[in-house]
Chain A
Amino acid sequence: MTDSNNVVIIGGGHNGLVCAAYLAKAGKKVTVLEAADQVGGAAATREFAPGFKASCAHLLYLLDQDISKELALKSNGLSMARSGLDTIALAADGNHITISSDSVDGGGLSSEDQAAYKEYRRFMSKFAGIFGAMHKLVPPRITQQRGDLMTLGKLALKVRMLGRDDMRELLRIGGINIYDILKENFDNPLLKGALSLDAVLGTFSGPRSNNSVFTALHRMSGNNAGAAGSVSIPAGGMGAVTEALAAAAKKASADIRTASPVKKILMDGMTVSGVELENGEQITASTVISNADPKTTIMNLLGARHVEAGFARKIDNIRAKGNAAKLHLALDGLPDFKGLSRAQLGERLVIAPTVEYVELAFNHCKYGEYSAQPVAEITIPSIHDANLAPDGKHVLSAIVQYAPRELGAGWGEGKAAFMEVVMNVLSEYAPDIREKTITAELLTPEDIETEFRMAGGHWHHGELSLDQFLMLRPVPKSAQYKTPVDGLYFCSAGCHPGGGIMGSAGRNAANVVLANGTST
């Protein structure tokens, strides 16, 4: 007999911890099983060189503020080292552009571009709000059932409430590419390049890929205080978010076990009965919630034979080709970026000189090559948080694209070569970067897949695109977090509303589990 109150959550990443905290608060006996030695998954703050710490996920822009309040993350130890970062579009000649939430400056921008930016921010923020409102929804099914119809109706109403002109504009641009939208609005190549980067970070797409307006909107869809898409750096690195979530879950009596990798999900007939750890230990539970990505969950942990073939096939076909590599540099002091003041070094720095440059960088990955001229999103979090590096030293954290998960030559040989390419690009903007570097760590999508156990090393646990969104995420018949297997649920970023440190998938999943009751 399994205790019907027992819940096992596979994976102590942020969504797993959010889910654990809500369920524990509701009185469930929750055990979180994390494979790594610390919770957090890709959000964890890890020491990558003696005394130097960084998080794979390095900027916070989507965390659901309701979760933050309901789980009292502040009193559980979360604070921001810096909020509302500007974005600085780096120029090789030092003539950079500073992009704030309400204005844009520098780089010889025309007044037309500056005015256009305000309008761009207006409509993009407004549209992002529509997507933001969906985050807390359990995606409706396409049925005739009243609840689903109500949810769909509410979404339609929100779109209609944009007003005639904006609604028409959302419908026009929602599925198309950011390249065209930027071309319609701006002249300055550097500004367009930098803005296009927001649309393609963490995706298998370039600015000219359709769907890239949607990904740009998703990035801006958080409900954090301040402007849409406002970016923060937590004190103590991103791991501080997951530590606070873990603290909240523990306070509600959740049991969080690290170094406990799950080998498989156990079945009793057609119902989930628990999990088996890699060390052979079995833990019984009538409800198992997987924060592993859906593909890993079904194909590896459960086994495709326990679901119908059509479902297994859809899960197997989830597109999850990670494209973002992560660079961590231990620096012997602040590097000298051309044209930037020391204060500006603490902002979000992007290398995306033109939108064509970004598109060309993407082209390579279609053919299993890394970019010859990669794009990058760079932060030096140690400027805001001295605890991340020894005295006087610094940490540079950068997302570098494009680095396809399936590299033709294989990452065994490719990694060192790509590292060289990345350092060369960085050197164009910060000529002393090599001499300031004490140690460098590059996490390829393959490394990310291995270390954080994400299929394809994809930070969204599956490409975020309109065909893998809302009731189509991860696949139909499991988009409401409940899988076709009795007692098995998903709560990862592979579900609606996707990745980025947000927590909504975990919260929505907890609500579904509570509403369904645990299976008996």
Chain B
Amino acid sequence: MRTVDVSKRDHFKNAVYPSPFHSRQKQYNQLKEWSRWADYLSVPAYWCADLEYFSGRNTCGVFDITPMVKHRVSGPDALPYLNRLMTRDVGKIKPGRVGYSVWCNENGQVIDDGTIFHLGEGVYRICSQEHQIDWFMTNTLGFDVNVVEETHDIAGLALQGPTSCAALKEMGLTGIENLTPFGMTWFNFEGKDLMVSRTGFTGDLGYELWIDPEHAELLWDRLFEAGDLRGIKAMGSDALELLRIEAGFILAGADFLPAMEAVRPTHTRSPFELGLGWLVSFDKGVFNGRQALLEEKKNGSRYHLVKLDIDGNKPAKDSFVYTKGKKYAGTVTSAMWSPSAKASIALASLEAPLDKPGEDFEVEIYYQRELKWSRVMAPARVVKDVFWDPPRRRQTPPADF
């Protein structure tokens, strides 16, 4: 594996780098707006965030995931190391499979969430939102394990939407239709190694493609050629934000405060408080946060992250949530008007025990019409299911759209 020496990048002069897809992003980026995502330039919207969103639901959209922080974990103790680090039982992620997980500090507070790619027997890739190398290295104490950050060694594209499988087939990835959700497979792509996983952040049929940065532009070009008749579009982070809220996926820094960044320790959240109790495996042995989480389980959680279905069509961004008796119940962490669910939806962190499904709440929404601010108290209900969960997300092989 080739590891880029970050120290040679003059990072003090230039903290943000062009992605390996930059030349193509520049060409597609009609709005000429750039944002920063971790170490890289990212595109908020190429031409229209809403229409890019629809490509993710109706055709397929291409999103550059190179900036996602990536680590490689290997060595004889890779599995015991990850099992002590992660809350879930990593042993259940077989080679060639991907699993979602969170990891906690000793107070049982979530440091970050991410995906674990079991690349091959005992070799793992951990993808996360935040830089984790310091914490991951701290965790190596007492383990025969090798941990490196490989963010800059791999270029990644997410291809998400109902025609994604067909586009990949068109590109020559024969057999891609047999890949099951959370599986991964390798292709010879014009003589280059291409890894494809059936993963994504949109809650829809979709894939992520991983390749050496040297071949990034080739991959982009071939993909857009192959997807031309399948409605392929470049997609920016604004569209992805809409897609992930509909799918009910949480985002570090929005729906929870990463524990390592917290100055105020009570502002963080545990896995239970994020609705991720299913990721906590108490019977696998010791893991970071176990003791604190056992106590939380016994004594109860402080908060619960819920999905709200809100009356009306005004996005409840940054809103306060009240009980019907006008008692403060919590705040909205992510919100949008969902074009696919045809509803105003939100993720909200509510103070326990005000979190029962079916419970009635009121959401205080401030909105603007041509610079005039108004306020509405919109009735809202806690719902159990995610807002967007089409069968095609799981269907193998996917239908040929």
A309 touches B285 (CB 8 A): no
**Chain B 92-104 per-residue mask, 1 if CB under 8 angstroms from chain A, else 0:** 0000000000000
> In the assembled complex, which residues on chain B have CB atoms less than 8 Å from the CB atom of A484?
291
Contact assessment for B285 and A308 in the assembled complex, using a CB-CB cutoff below 8 Å: no
Question: With the chains together, A305 CA to B287 CA distance in Å?
Answer: 9
- Beyond A310-B106, A311-B106, whether A305 also contacts B142 by CB under 8 A is yes
Residues on B with beta carbons closer than 8 Å to the beta carbon of A137: none
Nearest CB to that of B285 among chain A residues? A270
The total of chain A residues at the interface (CB under 8 A) is 18
| CA of A70 to CA of B369, assembled, Å | 83
Tell me if B139 is interfacial: C-beta within 8 Å of chain A: yes
Contact A312 B287 (CB under 8 A): no
A270, B142: Cβ atoms closer than 8 Å: no
Please name the residue on chain B nearest to A269 by beta carbon. Answer: B285
A310–B85 Cα distance when bound, in Å, is: 11
Contact between chains at A308 and B289 (CB < 8 Å):
yes
Q: Mark B232-267, 1 if CB is under 8 A from A, else 0.
A: 000000000000000000000000000000000000
Which residues on B sit within 8 Å (CB–CB) of A316? 141
Q: Residue A176 at the B interface, CB < 8 A?
A: no
Chain A residues numbered 177-222 whose CB sits less than 8 Å from any CB in chain B: none
**A309 near B291 (CB under 8 angstroms)?**
no
Q: In the complex, A269→B284 CA distance in Å? A: 9
A157 CB to nearest B CB, Å: 30
A308 near B286 with CB under 8 A, answer yes
**Contact A306 B105, beta carbon cutoff 8 Å:** no
A270–B290 alpha-carbon span in the complex (Å): 11
B19 at the binding interface (Cβ < 8 Å):
no
| Minimum distance in angstroms from B116 CB to a CB of chain A | 17
- Tell which of B80, B81, B106 touches A308, judged by Cβ atoms closer than 8 Å: B106
Is A305 in contact with B80, judged by CB distance below 8 angstroms?
Answer: yes
B142 contacts which of A310, A312, A477, A485 (Cβ < 8 Å)? Answer: A312
User: What distance in Å separates the Cβ of A312 from its nearest Cβ neighbour in chain B?
Assistant: 5
Distance A484 CA – B290 CA, assembled complex (angstroms) = 10
B139 CB contacts on chain A under 8 angstroms: 309
Contact with A along B269-306 (1 / 0, CB 8 A): 00000000000000001111111000000000000000
Would A309 and B80 be within 8 Å (CB), given that A270-B286, A316-B141 are in contact? no
Which residues of the partner chain B approach A477 to less than 8 Å between Cβ atoms? 106
Question: Which 9 pairs from chain A and chain B are nearest by CB?
Answer: A304-B142, A310-B106, A309-B139, A308-B288, A304-B141, A305-B142, A308-B106, A312-B141, A309-B288
A-side contacts of B285, CB under 8 Å: 269-270
Counting CB contacts under 8 A, is A366 at the interface? Answer: no
- Interchain pairs with CB closer than 8 A, number: 46
Q: In the complex, what residues of A have CB within 8 A of residue B142's CB?
A: 299, 303-305, 312
Query: Assuming A299-B142, A313-B138, A313-B141, is B288 touching A306 (CB within 8 A)?
Result: no
Do A309 and B290 touch across chains, with their CB atoms under 8 A apart?
A: no
- Which of B143, B286, B289, B290 neighbours the largest number of chain A CB atoms within 10 Å of its CB? B286
A316 to B138, CA, bound (A): 11
User: CB-nearest residue of chain A relative to B104?
Assistant: A308
Which A residues form the contact surface with B (CB < 8 A)?
A: 269-270, 299, 303-313, 316, 477, 484-485
Question: How close is B105's CB to chain A, nearest CB, in angstroms?
Answer: 6
Q: Which residues of A contact B81 (CB under 8 A)?
A: 305
Contact with A along B137-155 (1 / 0, CB 8 A): 0110111000000000000
Considering the complex, give the chain A residue whose CB is closest to the CB of B135: A309
User: Smallest CB-CB separation from B142: which chain A residue?
Assistant: A304
Contact yes or no, B143 A305, CB < 8 A: yes
Cβ–Cβ contact A310 & B288, under 8 A: yes
Return the chain B residue nearest A315 by Cβ. Answer: B141
Judge if B84 is at the interface, Cβ distance under 8 Å.
yes
Of the A-B pairs whose beta carbons lie under 8 Å apart in the complex, a sample of 26, sorted by A's number, is A270-B285, A270-B286, A299-B141, A303-B142, A304-B143, A305-B80, A305-B84, A305-B143, A305-B286, A308-B84, A308-B286, A308-B287, A308-B288, A308-B291, A309-B84, A309-B106, A309-B135, A309-B138, A309-B288, A310-B105, A310-B106, A310-B288, A312-B142, A313-B138, A313-B141, A316-B141
Best-buried of A269, A307, A477 by chain B (most CB within 10 Å): A307
B80 / chain A contacts, CB cutoff of 8 Å:
305
Q: What residues of chain A lie closer than 8 Å to B85, measured between beta carbons?
A: 309
- Separation of A485 and B286 alpha carbons in the complex (Å): 9
In the complex, chain A residues whose CB is within 8 Å of the CB of B290? 308
Given contacts A307-B286, A308-B291, A309-B288, 10 further A-B contacts (CB under 8 A): A270-B286, A299-B141, A299-B142, A305-B81, A305-B84, A305-B143, A309-B85, A309-B139, A309-B141, A485-B286
Chain A residue contacts of B135, Cβ below 8 A: 309
A304 to B144 CA separation, bound complex (whole angstroms): 11
Q: Give the Cβ gap from A306 to chain B, nearest Cβ, in Å.
A: 6
Task: Give A484 to B291 CA distance when docked, in angstroms.
Answer: 8
- Who on chain A is nearest to B77 by CB? A305
Q: How far, in whole Å, are A308 and B85 apart by their CA atoms in the complex? A: 8
Residues of B within 8 A of A308 (CB): 84, 106, 286-291
Task: Mark interface residues in B78-96 (1 if CB within 8 Å of A CB, else 0).
Answer: 0011001100000000000
Residue of B nearest to A303 (CB): B142
A306–B286 contact, CB under 8 A? yes
A305 CA to B82 CA, complexed, in Å? 11
Expressed in whole angstroms, the minimum distance between the Cβ of B104 and any Cβ of chain A is 9
A240 to B77, CA, bound (A): 47
CB distance from B278 to the nearest CB of A (A): 21
The CA of A308 and the CA of B80, in the complex, are separated in Å by: 12
List chain B residues, Cβ under 8 A from A309: 84-85, 106, 135, 138-139, 141, 288
| Minimum CB distance partner of B106 in chain A | A310
Give the Cβ gap from A462 to chain B, nearest Cβ, in Å. 17
Q: How far is the CB of B345 from chain A (nearest CB, A)?
A: 37
Residue of B nearest to A476 (CB): B106
A307 to B85 CA separation, bound complex (whole angstroms): 11
Determine how close the nearest CB of chain A comes to the CB of B285; give it in whole angstroms. Answer: 6
Given the complex of chains A and B, what is the CA–CA distance between A303 and B290 in angstroms? 17
- Among residues of B, the one whose C-beta sits closest to the C-beta of A310 is B106
In the complex, which residues of chain B have a beta carbon less than 8 angstroms from the beta carbon of A312?
141-142
Which chain B residues lie closer than 8 Å to A311 at the CB level? 106
Bound together, the chains give a CA A299 to CA B143 distance in angstroms of: 11
- How many angstroms from the CA of A312 to the CA of B139 in the assembled complex? 9
Contacts of A306 in B (CB 8 A): 286
User: Residue of B at shortest CB range from A311?
Assistant: B106
- Chain B minimum-CB-distance residue to A313: B138
- Least Cβ–Cβ distance between A305 and chain B, in angstroms: 5
Complex Cα–Cα for A304 and B135 (A): 15
The residue of chain A having its C-beta at the shortest distance from the C-beta of B105 within the complex is: A310
In the complex, what residue of chain A is closest to B107 when comparing beta carbons?
A310
C-alpha spacing A299/B141, complex, angstroms: 9
A311 to B291: give the CA distance in the assembly, Å: 12
> Which residues in window 302-360 of B have CB below 8 A to A?
none
